[in-house]
Amino acid sequence: MRTRLSMDKLQLFAYFIGLSLVGSVALSLSPMYADGVAVPFVDAFFTSVSAVCVTGLSTVPMSAYSPAGFVTVMILIQFGGLGIVTFFSLYIAVPQKKMSLVNRAVIRDFFIDDVETEPRRIVRSIVIFTACIEILFAIPLYLGFRSAGSRFPFLDAAFHSVSAFCNAGFSTYGDSLGGFGRNDLVVVPVFLLFVTGGVGFMVLTDVARRVAGVRSRLSFHSRLVLALTGSLLFFGGLVFFLAEKNGALSGMGTARGAFLAVFQAATPRTAGFTVLPQESLSPITHLVTVILMFIGGSPGSIAGGVKTTTFFLVMLYAIRGNPDLRGLNLGQRNLDTTLIERAFSIVAKSLIIVIAVISALLITERAAIESGMFRIFDVVFETVSAFSTVGLSLGITGSLTEAGKYVVILAMFIGRTGVFAMALGFAKTEKERYVEYPSARVMIG
């Protein structure tokens, strides 16, 4: 079991690394850029990893890319966004290739029902669903970009549809969607796409079956995810609106300001799009943004972060947990101890990684910090954004040192694949499975 689990992880990591390298070579070619001048390899590699890891950070202004460059980035986003699903599509498509129990467990994270009997149907339905929803929303986006005078409305529509549903945050415009705050044919479809993409395939299918009458009620997981998503949108939007109504949202009007506040509250949860410059937002908005970035989207989705249910279980157990009882009672259901421990493990390991990356950037960017070019909070913001594959920045990405760029590249890669690996868990050694040591007591608190 241990060898099989390790091989599965290595194959998954190899898929993302190989795709990133292929993308970096493609983005090193001069036709990818509007002026015909290729960027240094580190910048091409950075953008490639960012696209594959659906992050959205870039050391190169988006205005530098040619249509060929945008198409390349879009392809990387699509294959990276559906990376795990694509990986297993290729894996199980090999003739007579049997799926291991670990592989079935991975697909179950995307789509619980019928995993044991129809894994190919599950993967196929996810890919088809993704293609359909991206094509559907590309239609209003095309109309919106064309009405705004876009030179390439079809490219803009296709690019933003893929980028939004995959929660990548890349835009063909340098200020993201800053120039489209009042264009509902652009901002509304993008908002619906990245919220939908961050909910998770299982929840979307569960809702579709409920609407179609196939199921009498939603599963406990779906109800919890929808409740958490709605709560984060409402309370995050409320904080953003109150904090920015006299600032970045002034002059917008109540209705427009409220929508843009909800948009800005949703985008930190790995979407990465913005209609308001991050530098114009207040300190409390920046702090809430960092928290929302760390939380991320929901399990089984394309989004990053530690995931909504993971963070919720940790916070709930910290407030209501009783070590004398097994698990945690929630909504007339019991969540067992193993699940709680898994959630704590993911959050703790994620915090360790974030602290390590921040420390590394404080070393590589020491000169910029001491000169006042960067603030320490800028580094914290950039780190959480990279690890949670969000793509928001306070404007320091393009000014990072070469060493700092590689640190952020590593953070994006770990954020995309490492959290998944942590959720999958590690195989126990023979000694851990069959040997139980005497208990010991340690004072804490």
* pLDDT value at 425 more than 80: no
Q: What single DSSP character describes residue 437?
A: P
Structure tokens at 39: 């960027």
Q: Give the model's pLDDT for residue 39.
A: 92
Q: How far apart are CA 288 and CA 293, in angstroms?
A: 9
Section 228-236 average pLDDT:
93
Q: What single DSSP character describes residue 329?
A: E
Q: What single DSSP character describes residue 335?
A: E
Q: Give the model's pLDDT for residue 114.
A: 43
Report yes or no: 268 and 390 within 8 Å, Cβ to Cβ. Answer: yes
* pLDDT value at 380 more than 80: yes
Q: Give the model's pLDDT for residue 147.
A: 93
Q: Give the model's pLDDT for residue 28.
A: 94
Q: Give the model's pLDDT for residue 409.
A: 95
Output the CA–CA distances (angstroms, integers) from residue 70 to 51, 75, 192, 405, in the order listed: 11, 9, 22, 21
Mean pLDDT (the chain, rounded): 83
Section 407-424 average pLDDT:
78
Section 403-423 average pLDDT:
82
pLDDT tens for residues 252-298?
A: 888 999 999 999 999 998 788 988 888 889 999 999 999 999 999 88
Which amino acid belongs to residue 99?
M
Could you tell me the pLDDT band of residue 130, with boundaries at 50, 70 and 90?
confident
pTM for the predicted model, two decimal places: 0.87
Could you tell me the pLDDT band of residue 200, with boundaries at 50, 70 and 90?
confident
Q: How far apart are CA 124 and CA 99, in angstroms?
A: 15
Share of the chain above pLDDT 90, in %: 46
Q: Where are the alpha helices (DSSP H) in 36-81?
A: 41-52, 67-81
Could you tell me the pLDDT band of residue 15, with boundaries at 50, 70 and 90?
confident
Section 382-392 average pLDDT:
92
The residue behind tokens 């009997």 is 117
More confident residue, 390 or 300: 390
